Structures are given as structure tokens and as C-alpha cells.
Structure 1
Amino acid sequence: MSVGTPEHGVAGRLSFLDRYLAGWIIAAMVIGLGLGRAVPGLGDALATVTVSGVSLPIALGLLVMMYPVLAKVRYDRLGTVTRDRRLLVPSLLLNWVVGPALMFTLAWLFLPDLPEYRTGLIIVGLARCIAMVIIWNDLACGHREAAAVLVAMNSVFQVIAFSALGWFYLTVLPGWLGLEQAGLDVSVGEITRSVLIFLGLPLAAGYLTRRIGEKTKGRAWYEAELIPRIGPFALYGLLFTVVILFALQGDAITSKPLDVARIALPLLAYFALMWAGSMTLGRALGLDHPRATALAFTAAGNNFELAIAVAIATFGASSGQALAGVVGPLIEVPVLIGLVYVALYARRHFTAPESPTPQEDPAHA
């Protein structure tokens, strides 16, 4: 996708779909809510078939959304990212120390009297993003290869650390602080399956598409001809996913507006603090705008697929924990699309990039 220079305005050279993306997102949310309210039993029907605990339509939408972005990644450049400690070390700290601790704090501050919602939010904070963050980073002209590496790193740590962190933040830490404790029953196998489906499949498809395409037709053809054809499907998948998400919970959201509002407040604070803090840290560390943007979005996003699946499996589909998990992406989608525009505006406050950036690289057009 093309992006204009700061001097001429971000929107000047965006495609029609990209330029009005915020409007499409809002329309998708409204359509989803309308469908959920207008068609009795639609949510139950959509949730009948699941993939790793996630509704099949949502799973398909996520896979369609992620594949084109991962097909754009230049995998031969990943080595430069894996050697960048200024990027990798802060990302690990933000995702696995700061993020869970911040969500735990906000959940207790905002929801001290609502233990089910509080537990659901803590689970959301533990599930670090491995899916939708890729498209937010791409829309904001973040470093595509850096985002791919950070997401892959998160997926590995998710398998290793999720259960242990769940035990710590729901049982151990509340016990130390004299607070109410909760339990979390999730196996490493369940987490691994979620990672393999929602990251492994589109990553393998994207990698094979690039390797086969470049081998048969060459890189110039691949990036000038094939990428523009498959690229729009990322946004089509995003909009489809948003419609299904809101349709699944349309009745619950509209029938419990006060509960949704209370869950939304700590989420809004979380996304704003994590994104702004990460972007500021990236700039302070001397990262260029594309890398700082990748750092910010991978730190602020959450793996709602895993959070929802864990909440449903542990507490039930009609539980408050599950509702909190579902509200997570419903707040995250409009907030992070807004932060995409903030990230594009923030480019003027960064120094010249250290390496070819998505704005200058034909592969990111």
C-alpha cells in the first residue's frame, strides 16, 4: 500500500480502500452489531464450529487477513532484525513484563468489584499478539520484517510462559497482596495449537508464496505484479473478521452496555499507555520510525484468539471472563486503527531511517 510523505499528507497517495479504512471499520462494526441483534441465534450458529476454540468464520477471516502481509515479507532480510538488540530486548520486556503487569494493575483498579471481568482482562493481558498486529503495523508503515520477527518471538514465549504467568497473576500475586485469587486451566498443547494455526499457517503460506513466486518469475515480477493483486485481501479479511466478531456478541454487547463500558475503560487505558510508551521508548533508544512502530504495535496488541479460547474453555462460553475476552478486540480494533494514523503522523518526529523503510521500498507498496 502506498503512503504519502508527511509534507503532502498521509492520505494523498493512499488507495481508496486504505484512505477510508476508519469508515469501513466503523461500518463493519455497525453491520456486525445489526446482524447480531436482527438475526436471532446468529451468534450461536457462528460459534457452532470452532478452530482451537475460535469461531470458524473468525479463524478464516484472520488467516485471509494475515496471509497477504506475510507474503510481502522479505525473508532474506530477517537476519538484520534478529541482530538488533535495541529492538528485541525492549520488545521482550514490554510484552512479557510490562504488558501483563500493566493489565493486572488496571484490571484491579477499574474492576475491583467484578471478579469475572477482571480475570478475563488479566487473561487478555497475558495473551501477547501474534495475528492482527501484523496488519496494524503494515498500515502504519512499520518495519515488516521486524514485525514478523517480533511476532514469531512472541509466539515462542507464549507457548513457554502463558500458563506460568496465568498462575502467577491469578493465584500467586493476588495471594501476596491479600487479594481474591482465581485459577487458570490451560495446557501447553492448547497454546501451541493456537499459535500453529493463527501464525504458523499464514506464515508458511506467505513464505512459500514468496519463495515459489521469486523462483519462477523473479522478485521484480513478484513485487510489482503478484503483491498488488493479493494485498487488498488483507483488508477484506480484516473487515470480514470485524463483522463476525461484532455479530457473535451483538446481543450481549447491546444488552449489557454498562458492563461493556466498564470493561472498555481499562482496555482503553492499556492500549494507549502500551502504545505511546513503546513508541516513546523506541525513539529514545534511537530506533527509526519503522522499527519503533513495529515495537509499539507488537507491544500494544493482544492475542484475542487465545484469550477468548482460554476463557471459554476454563470458565464457559456465557461467563463474564469470556465476555471480557470478546470485548477486548472490539475495543482494540477501533483504538489501534486510530493509532495507525497517529503513527503515520509521528514520522516527522523521527530522524532519517537507518535502512530501507516500508515507505521507500517497492515491496511495501
Structure 2
Amino acid sequence: MSGATAPPTGSVAGRLSLVDRFLAVWILVAMAAGLGLGRLVPGLGDALARVTVTGVSLPIALGLFVMMYPVLAKVRFDRLGTVTRDKRLLVPSLVLNWVVGPAVMFALAWIFLPDLPEYRTGLIIVGLARCIAMVVIWNDLACGDREAAAVLVALNSVFQVIAFGALGWFYLSVLPGLLGLERTGLDVSVWEIARSVLIFLGIPLAAGFATRRLGERARGRTWYESRLVPRIGPFALYGLLFTIVVLFALQGHAITSRPLDVVRIAVPLLVYFAVIWAGSMALGRAVGLGYAKTTTLAFTAAGNNFELAIAVAVATFGATSGQALAGVVGPLIEVPVLIGLVYAALAARRFFSPPAGSPAPVEEGPVHV
């Protein structure tokens, strides 16, 4: 995927590879394959679940690394200073991620699941776990700003370590108590959250930074951008498909054995993704961020760190709990919805004008592998 800045046109689409043109199809096939394997192969989910390092699923960590590393290796780290000085981007992102997002998920969980406390709690936990991993590929597919995405996921990582436990206590115990609602406890350590951030973001980010630094130093930026990046780029999509298959195989039986419960959990998630993404796109356009940064703002606000949400739910309530199932349904809904929002973002690009002083976008395909 080239990460170019323009939506596909008819002529461009004709030049895209088979994988690019049917991207949504491959993702849906990967989901179906994972669910089928988890349901039809006895013990596969348990076998995959046992392949862990310090409590972290090694297959998922490997898939996320392969997915994120090529995208992060494309980041121009020398441009990050410009992003960090852009308060029109940073302030809305922090507010959307750490104030609006958790509050909206809390409200939707109580509106749609008032009679199902376990699923409700699981959804609230999903809302607290802000995205630091898969968002980089959704952003890249939608031609968002890579440098801005790197900064925002780094900020989310820091806030996740600092604020996750406190927000869990507030939304599961304090706020329900103030509203006269049922309260729930959440026992999660700062180390558990920090470990998730380090494994799912820190390692691929460090690898991407080192690759660019060493590659440019050895062969120059022109060689790096024109030769190395195109070679490693396709692995991002392969890592995404592998991660989806493994993730859904891990929980295939749980999902397929309770379809009505999955539907109940899916409805507030669908509303959440639509409201947060559309609201973020509207806000970015209103403050004049331009298409690339607005897209980055929207996807970082709408995505969730389902790996952390599942880990916290399992550790606190058990692997067979309703809270854990709600966490598992998260990616089941998030993956197809966000790939759909990638196409929605590309279609909405015509409503944006380039930010003042920026060059005109290059008309290339967005997801060229």
C-alpha cells in the first residue's frame, strides 16, 4: 500500500493489484476463515491461547508486528515536530479519545444493554482501551497523515498507561453510583497496561524508526523511499489478514455459539463507531485540518485497543465471562466497519480543501500493494 493521498479513480483502480481491488473481500474471508477454524477444528483456540509470552498471545503479537512495522517504517520521523505543534489536531484528539469516546461508550452500553451487566461492563472496558495498533493500517489505507498517526498513537499509549485504571474505576464504580446504577469493580495493574503498550506499539515503532534511520544513513532517502519501502509495504496487509484469522480462530467457538448475544453487543458498537468517526470527521473539517489529518483524527478516535480490552476482561472476570465475550465481539464488528469507513473517508475527500500552504495532493491509488 503506497499511502498516497488521493482516492481511487477509474484509471487508478485498473492499475491496482488483485489484492488491492478486493481488499474488503479478503478481510471478510479472513474473518470467516478464523471463525470456521475456531469452530470446526477441536482445540485450536485453546492451542493458540497457550502460545503466550508473559501472558501475551504470541501469534497475535507477531501478526500485529508484521502489520504495523511496514507502515511505521514509512513514517518521516523528522516531520514529527510539526505535528506536535499542531494544537488543532492534538487537543481534539485527546478530548475525543479520553473524554468523548469513553463517555459515549458508557452511555450506549447502558442504553442498549441495561439488562445484561456482564456485556455492558465488557463494552465499557472496550471504550476505555484507545487504539494504539491496528489504527495505523486503517489510517494508511485511507491516506491519512502517517506522521500524525504516529504522534497520536504515542500519546494514546502514554495516556493509556496513566489513565486506564482511573477511568475504569470512574466509569464502572463512581459514575454508576452517582447515577444510582449498578457498580462494578475493575482490578487491573499499570504494568499490565504498560506491557500491552510496549509489545503492541513500542516494538514495531522502534523497529520502524531504526529501519528508516539505518536505511537512509546507509543508502540515502531516495533509495529508501523508492526501493525499500515498496518491498516491505505488502507485508502490512499480510500481517493484518494473519492477525484477523488468528484472533477470530481464538474465539470462533464463543462467537458462533451465542449469535443472539453477539447481535446485542454489536448494535451499540455499530452506533459507537458511526457516531465517533462521523463526529471526528466533521470536527476536523470544521477546524480546517485538511483531509489527511482529519482522517487520522477520525480513525484514532473511533478505533479501540481490543487486545488490551480482552486481556483486562479475561484477567479480571475470566476467559468464559460475558465481559470477555464483549471484548471479543469488538474486533468482529470493528474490522469490517472500519474497512468500510476507509472507503467512506476516501469518498468524502472531495469535501476537503488542502490546508493553507500545503502542496496539492498527488493523484495516486491509496492502497497499492
> What's the TM-score once normalised by structure 1's chain length?
0.96
Contact 1:288 1:353 in 2 (8 A): yes
Task: Report the counterpart of residue 329 of structure 1 in structure 2.
Answer: 331
Aligned-partner residue type, residue 40 of structure 2: A
Task: Report the counterpart of residue 308 of structure 2 in structure 1.
Answer: 306
Contact 2:313 2:327 in 1 (8 A): yes
Contact 2:141 2:367 in 1 (8 A): no
Segments of structure 1 that go 5 or more residues without pairing to the other structure are none
In structure 1, what is the Cα distance between the partners aligned to 2:216 and 2:123?
A: 43
Quick check: 166-175 or 239-248, which moved more? 239-248
Aligned-partner residue type, residue 128 of structure 2: L
Deviation string for 1:21-80 (max 9, x for gaps)? 101001101111111111011111110122464422111101110000000000000011
Aligned-partner residue type, residue 154 of structure 1: N
Aligned-partner residue type, residue 182 of structure 2: E
Task: Report the counterpart of residue 149 of structure 2 in structure 1.
Answer: 147
Task: Report the counterpart of residue 238 of structure 1 in structure 2.
Answer: 240
Deviation string for 1:104-163 (max 9, x for gaps)? 000001110111110000000000000000000000000000000000000001111000
Q: CA deviation at 1:347?
A: 0.8
Please list, as runs of the form range in 1=range in 2, the aligned pairs for 1:148-187 lying within 5 A after superposition: 148-187=150-189
Q: CA deviation at 1:5?
A: 4.7
CA separation of 1:53 and 1:123: change in aligned 2, threshold 3 A: farther
CA separation of 1:6 and 1:327: change in aligned 2, threshold 3 A: closer
Contact 2:6 2:361 in 1 (8 A): no
Aligned-partner residue type, residue 216 of structure 2: E
Task: Report the counterpart of residue 208 of structure 2 in structure 1.
Answer: 206
CA separation of 1:233 and 1:359: change in aligned 2, threshold 3 A: farther
Task: Report the counterpart of residue 293 of structure 1 in structure 2.
Answer: 295
In structure 2, what is the Cα distance between the partners aligned to 1:73 and 1:191?
A: 25
CA separation of 1:224 and 1:7: change in aligned 2, threshold 3 A: closer
2:227 corresponds to 1:225: yes
Task: Report the counterpart of residue 125 of structure 1 in structure 2.
Answer: 127
Please list, as runs of the form range in 1=range in 2, the aligned pairs for 1:74-89 lying within 5 A after superposition: 74-89=76-91
Task: Report the counterpart of residue 104 of structure 1 in structure 2.
Answer: 106
Segments of structure 2 that go 5 or more residues without pairing to the other structure are none
Contact 2:5 2:292 in 1 (8 A): no
Alignment counterpart, residue 17 of structure 2, candidates 7, 15, 18: 15
Task: Report the counterpart of residue 316 of structure 1 in structure 2.
Answer: 318
Alignment counterpart, residue 198 of structure 2, candidates 189, 193, 196: 196
Question: What value does the CA root-mean-square deviation take over the aligned residues?
Answer: 1.9
> What's the TM-score once normalised by structure 2's chain length?
0.95
In structure 2, what is the Cα distance between the partners aligned to 1:195 and 1:357?
A: 36
For CA contacts below 8 A with separation 6 or more, give which structure has more relative contact order: 2
CA separation of 1:352 and 1:166: change in aligned 2, threshold 3 A: same
In structure 1, what is the Cα distance between the partners aligned to 2:360 and 2:367?
A: 8
Matched residue count:
365
